[in-house]
Structure formats: C-alpha cells, structure tokens
Amino acid sequence: MTFLPIVARELRVTARKRSTYWIRFAAAALALLLSAWSFIFLRSLGAGNIAGKMLFGSLTGLAWLYAVIGGVFKTADSLSEEKREGTLGLLFLTDLKGYDIVLGKIVAASVNWFFGLIALFPVLALSLLMGGVAPGDFWRMIAALANLLFYSLALGMFVSSFMRSERGAAGMTVAMLVFLLWLPSEAAEWHKKLTGALELSPWFVLPDVTRPLHYADNYSGAGTPQLYWGSLGVSHVIGWIYLLLASVIVPRTWQQQGGKLSRWQENAEQLAYGKNRARRRRFRERALALNPFYWIAARARGQSLLLFLVLLAITGYFAISYYVDPQDWRNESAFLLPGFFLHGTVKIWLALAACRRFVEDRRSGALELILSTPLTEKEIIRGQWRALAQQFGGPIIFVLMIDSVLLVLGWDIPVNPRAPHTLLFAAMSAASIIIFLADVIALAWLSMWRGLKSRHSYTAWLWSTVQVR
C-alpha cells in the first residue's frame, strides 16, 4: 500500500489545477502593488531611506494575518464537512488510518494557501535591496511565518476532528486562536510586572507561536537567540500534537453517537434556542404571525447572549487595565482603542450571522422550499433584517453606551487641556461611531448577498469584510 495515499493523490490533483498557479500569481501581484505604492508614497515624503524597513514591517503584518486565518478558512471545516455529508465513514471502510485521512485533508485544504504565503517571500526580499533589513532577520521571519501558518492549520484540523457544525468549528477555531495568540504574551507581561523580572519567563514564551515574530528582528538581543529557536521549536511540536490528537479522535467521532461530547453539543444547541419550551412556543407563534422567515432566522436567540459575554469580557479587560495602570490612559488615543475592539467584534459577529442563514438554507435545500411558498423576496429580506435587529440591537446599544463613557472619560484628561486636542478627540470619537453604524448596515447587506453566492459562510464573511474595509 502507498505511504500516505491521500496526500499523494491530493498533491497530484492540486498540481493540475489552474487555481494553484493563479493563487500564487495573485498573491505575488498584490504584494508587488502594495510594495510599489508604499515605496512611491515614502519617497514622496522624503523617507526613502527607511522604505525597506517600512515595507518589511507592512508585508510581514499582512503575512501574519494571512497565516493566522488559514486555520479558520481552510481546515476548520474540512473533517466536519465530511461528517455532515456522510462521506468520512466511507474512507474508514478501507485500510486507511486516522493519520492518513488527517494528513491528506490538511494537504488538500491548505496546499494552495501555503503556496500563497510562499509567493509573498520574494516580494518580501525586496526590502533587503532597499536596506534597513538584515538577511538574518529576513530568513528568521520566513521561518516564523511558515511555522505560524502550520500551527493555525493544525489547530483548525484538530477542532474539525471533533466538531460537526460548520459554525461551531469556525467559532471554536477563532476562539482558540485568539486565546492562544493573546494569552501567553499577556501572561508573560503581567508576570514580568508582578515579579519585577528583567526578562520574560520562558514558561510563557516557549509555547507562544507568535513570539518568534517578535524576536526575528531582535535576534542579537540578550537571550533572544535561545528564546527564538526555543519558542519556534516548542510551538512547532505543539502543532504536530494537534495533528496527532486529530488522528486519534477522528476514527471515534466520524459518526453521530452518544457520549459526553454529543450531550455537550445538544446542551449548547438547547442553550442557543432556549430550554424553556413554553417560551419557545410563544415566540414561534408571535414570530410566525409577523414573518415566517423571521422565525427561522431568529430562533437561535442565545447567540446575542454569547456576544454580550464577549463584549463584557473585552470591556472588563480594559476596565481592569484602566484601574491597574491609569498612566497608560493619559492620552486620547488610549480611549479610542476599546471602541476599536468592541466595534470590530460586533461587525465580525454580524457579518457571520447575516450570511450564515442563506448559506445553510442553500446547502440544505431549505431556501428552495421557502421560495416555493407564497413568501416574496422582500418578505424574506425583511424577516432577515428583523432577526438581525433582534439579535444585535442590544449589543449595538451596549457598544454605543461604552463609546459614550469613553468619550466622557477622554474629555476630562488633565494632561493636555488645550481645546484643539479635546475637539479633535471628540471629532474622532463621533467619526468612529458614525463609521461603525455605517459599516453595520453595509456589512449586513453585503453579507446577505454573499451568502447567496458562497458555499461556506466563512468565505462569504471574508469577502464581505474585505470589500467593506
């Protein structure tokens, strides 16, 4: 039997696809256009001597985002989709093992995504010719970005091995990525402040997959060579552990069966739709009388509660930061940062909710059945808008209230009481609120339209957010 037969097959199939070449061309062309625009802009400002360093930083930032979202958009639903369609069990009728399927699926889902990252590296090397970037910094950054992409893909495959829902798999992957990318660095900084240590603790640094990116351009600093290679190696091993766990889990979860995991998923669904049957029945009767599609789209009322919890967690974090270290809040820009995170969270959640309903209904055939009823297209859209208003009206009002509190607190900064700065801060706060409301409306419309054209909700969400931003 061929070693890793699915991997060999997927590589042969990918080599024959036109998209394999077009993705590399598009990634390199986009990076070249961005580089040319940045170089011309910096030369016009008289900052051509730092163009290489600025270009290197901007392109690595884009590559970082590209690598992080790879697990969400490429592998988070790879195995769970096979479970929903009932095709994963057919593979286990053969002599294939769990690792054959896991490695084959991760190659099939991510080889083009990996090629896109590789296509950015030659453009990134232009910063070496412009000056300001050492060859060692360049190669260390490439290794760190490739490792970050592998980590993200492996994490998405691990989540997909025990999830069945596309929405649940993508949400779990995003939550784990945010947690794993943010917590180690934050915990290391807090530990350093509390203990008064001169360096970050290796116990927090080594498992941090983003730490090699911090140390890539500061390799000659005190202790950073060991920390760079240590964190790179440890995080890479953790990625392989994710794949090993997925290989062990997927043969045991390919079919719907009882157990603690199934009960947890059922409890989560009941929490989203509500456990009180009488209340659910009253809502159904009221919603059906208003608009039948409104009832279909607004049944998962627990989603707004989950969004509230996330917004409260973000607000609580910044409130604790303000209480612990008020000196970091002595300028106007610090009061704009919480609004950035709160606005972004609501907009991301709204875009996913707006497109998911149509994607799922198209895939299951429910949308075709709905269109065969007397409901018109306007009534369907009106019902979707009513459902979005119910689910996101409260969180949007909560965010606007936090914006008002931040505006009042930022207005009373005693450090720089000059009127121009105060008026500028007020103007920026008002502009951010107006842009937030405009983005909410635009994202809702565009995500609904993308949901009618895309096969996956996260693909529709990605294109919607890119077009709006």
pLDDT digits (tens, 9 = 90+) for 161-192: 888 777 777 778 888 888 888 778 777 777 77
The boundaries of the domain holding residue 405 are 291-468
Whether 143 is covered by a domain: the verdict is yes
Query: Is residue 283 over pLDDT 80?
Result: no
pTM over the 0.85 mark: no
pLDDT in tens, 106-126: 888 888 888 888 888 888 888
Confidence tier at 222 by pLDDT (50, 70, 90) = very low
Whether 269 is covered by a domain: the verdict is no
Whether 369 is covered by a domain: the verdict is yes
Q: For residues 331-356, b (16+ Cβ closer than 10 Å) or e, as one string? A: ebebbbebbeebbebbbebbbbbbbb
Query: Is residue 332 over pLDDT 50?
Result: yes
Q: Assess whether 87 and 208 both reside in one domain.
A: yes
Whether 320 is covered by a domain: the verdict is yes
Confidence tier at 102 by pLDDT (50, 70, 90) = confident
Q: Assess whether 16 and 122 both reside in one domain.
A: yes
Whether 323 is covered by a domain: the verdict is yes
Q: Assess whether 122 and 235 both reside in one domain.
A: yes
Whether 283 is covered by a domain: the verdict is no
Give the Å distances, CA to CA, from 175 to 180, 220, 278.
9, 34, 32
Query: Is residue 237 over pLDDT 90?
Result: yes
Q: Assess whether 163 and 81 both reside in one domain.
A: yes
How confident is the model at residue 49, as a pLDDT? 63
Highest averaged pLDDT of the listed ranges 194-198, 265-269, 292-296, 447-451: 447-451
pLDDT in tens, 69-85: 887 778 888 888 788 77
| Mean pLDDT computed over 308-318 | 88
Q: Assess whether 324 and 220 both reside in one domain.
A: no
How confident is the model at residue 318, as a pLDDT? 85
Q: Are 461 and 447 in contact (CB under 8 A)?
A: yes
Whether 185 is covered by a domain: the verdict is no
pLDDT in tens, 121-165: 888 888 888 777 888 888 889 999 999 999 999 998 998 888 877
**Percent of the chain predicted with pLDDT > 90:** 10
Tell me 72's DSSP state.
I
User: How high does pLDDT run on average in the chain?
Assistant: 79
**CA atoms of 255 and 394, how far apart (whole Å):** 38
* Residue 272: CB atoms within 10 Å: 15
Confidence tier at 419 by pLDDT (50, 70, 90) = very low
How confident is the model at residue 258, as a pLDDT? 47
Asked which of 68-72, 241-245, 309-313 is least confident by mean pLDDT, the reply is 68-72
Whether 182 is covered by a domain: the verdict is no
Q: Assess whether 213 and 64 both reside in one domain.
A: yes
Q: Assess whether 394 and 309 both reside in one domain.
A: yes
How confident is the model at residue 238, as a pLDDT? 93
Number of domains in the chain: 2
How confident is the model at residue 307, as a pLDDT? 85
Q: Give the angle subtended at the CA of 385 by the CAs of 163 and 357, to the nearest 5°.
A: 25
Query: Is residue 194 over pLDDT 90?
Result: no
pLDDT in tens, 36-62: 887 777 777 666 567 778 888 888 888
pLDDT in tens, 370-393: 888 888 888 888 888 888 888 898
